[in-house]
Amino acid sequence: MSPAAPPLLRVEGLTVRYGALTALKDMSWQVSAGEILGIIGPNGAGKSSCFAAVTHAVPRLGDVWLAGERVTDLPTFRLARLGLRRTFQQNAFFGELSILENAMAAILREHSTSLSRSILLPWREAATRQAAERAAAELLTSFGIEAADHAKRPADIAYGTQRLLSVVLAYGAGAQALLIDEPAAGTGGPDMQRLADLLVELRRRRVAVVVIEHHMDLIMAVADRIVVIEQGRKLAEGTPADIQRNEAVLEAYLGRAA
Ligand SMILES: Nc1ncnc2c1ncn2[C@@H]1O[C@H](COP(=O)(O)OP(=O)(O)OP(=O)(O)O)[C@@H](O)[C@H]1O
Ligand SMILES: [Mg+2]
């Protein structure tokens, strides 16, 4: 990535208040296509609120630019259509649909105009459905969700795979800037490596990835840069190596977590 590459996503001065509580204060960062930005910080620091602010899921002050356009005033669903998407700390799937159907739904949502055309021309629908099925299966397998799981419902696959799935679905729905909130929450061991592989694969595909994580091994291994948030403010920003030797970070967070 050339240092001159303009950021795909840039946020400036984001501030979130819940009543009297200021959860996020004057937060600014940027991330380029093909880059992983890590966000770390103690519980309640304002990390998820930052994602809510970027995606306009809460009222906030500040500005958001996507691919050079100021998109501050757009609602969440318009931002999603432009490729700015978020996954949550909790999984959210269509529980009655299979893994494959969940992936098809994600893909078809993106191509909803071609879908409606196929509804007008029913004889074309089978072809569209088959194409979506193929694309969905390929999407899942290429991100490490094996064919043996595709016919199962989300609740019936391993929890670690469910965490992978929520990221894959957000990507499949057309994310170019993907905000991933604690993908490793509740997982461990081998799942961590699969998640690391997934994040690296997203970067290889030129997604601008922003990931919140408490698992330091994971974030330090995959992030290109890290922003540390404490009490709603940016405490530090730098490479994983910078962050690991930053006095303020060690004192406020890493020292405590160790
Ligand atoms: N909808 C809300 N209404 C009121 N207060 C909220 C709301 N969401 C979060 N908060 C508060 O805002 C602060 C920041 O919360 P946030 O969820 O952003 O933290 P976090 O860094 O994501 O924490 P964690 O690591 O535990 O997920 C906390 O004090 C939290 O209790
Ligand atoms: Mg959170």
Kindly report, residue by residue over 72-117, the tens digit of the pLDDT: 999 999 999 999 999 987 777 899 999 999 999 888 876 554 444 4
CA 52–ligand 2 middle distance (angstroms): 10
CATH number of domain containing 205: 3.40.50.300
- Say if 85 falls within a structural domain: yes
Domain membership of residue 232 as a residue range: 9-92+175-257
- Say if 222 falls within a structural domain: yes
- Say if 114 falls within a structural domain: no
- Say if 164 falls within a structural domain: no
- Say if 242 falls within a structural domain: yes
Single pTM value for the model: 0.91
What string of DSSP letters covers the chain?
--TTPPPSEEEEEEEEEETTEEEEEEEEEEE-TTEEEEEE-STTSSHHHHHHHHTTSS--EEEEEETTEE-TTS-HHHHHHTTEEEE-SS----TTS-HHHHHHHHHHHHTHHHHHHHHHSHHHHHHHHHHHHHHHHHHHHHTT--HHHHTS-GGGS-HHHHHHHHHHHHHHTT-SEEEEE-TTTT--THHHHHHHHHHHHHHHTT-EEEEE-S-HHHHHHH-SEEEEEETTEEEEEE-HHHHHT-HHHIIIIIHHH-
- Say if 104 falls within a structural domain: no
**What is the CB < 6 Å shell around ligand 1?**
18, 21, 23, 41, 43-49
- Say if 148 falls within a structural domain: no
- Say if 22 falls within a structural domain: yes
Residue nearest (by alpha carbon) to ligand 1 atom 9: 49
Kindly report, residue by residue over 210-234, the tens digit of the pLDDT: 999 999 999 999 999 999 999 999 9
Q: How many domains does the chain have?
A: 1
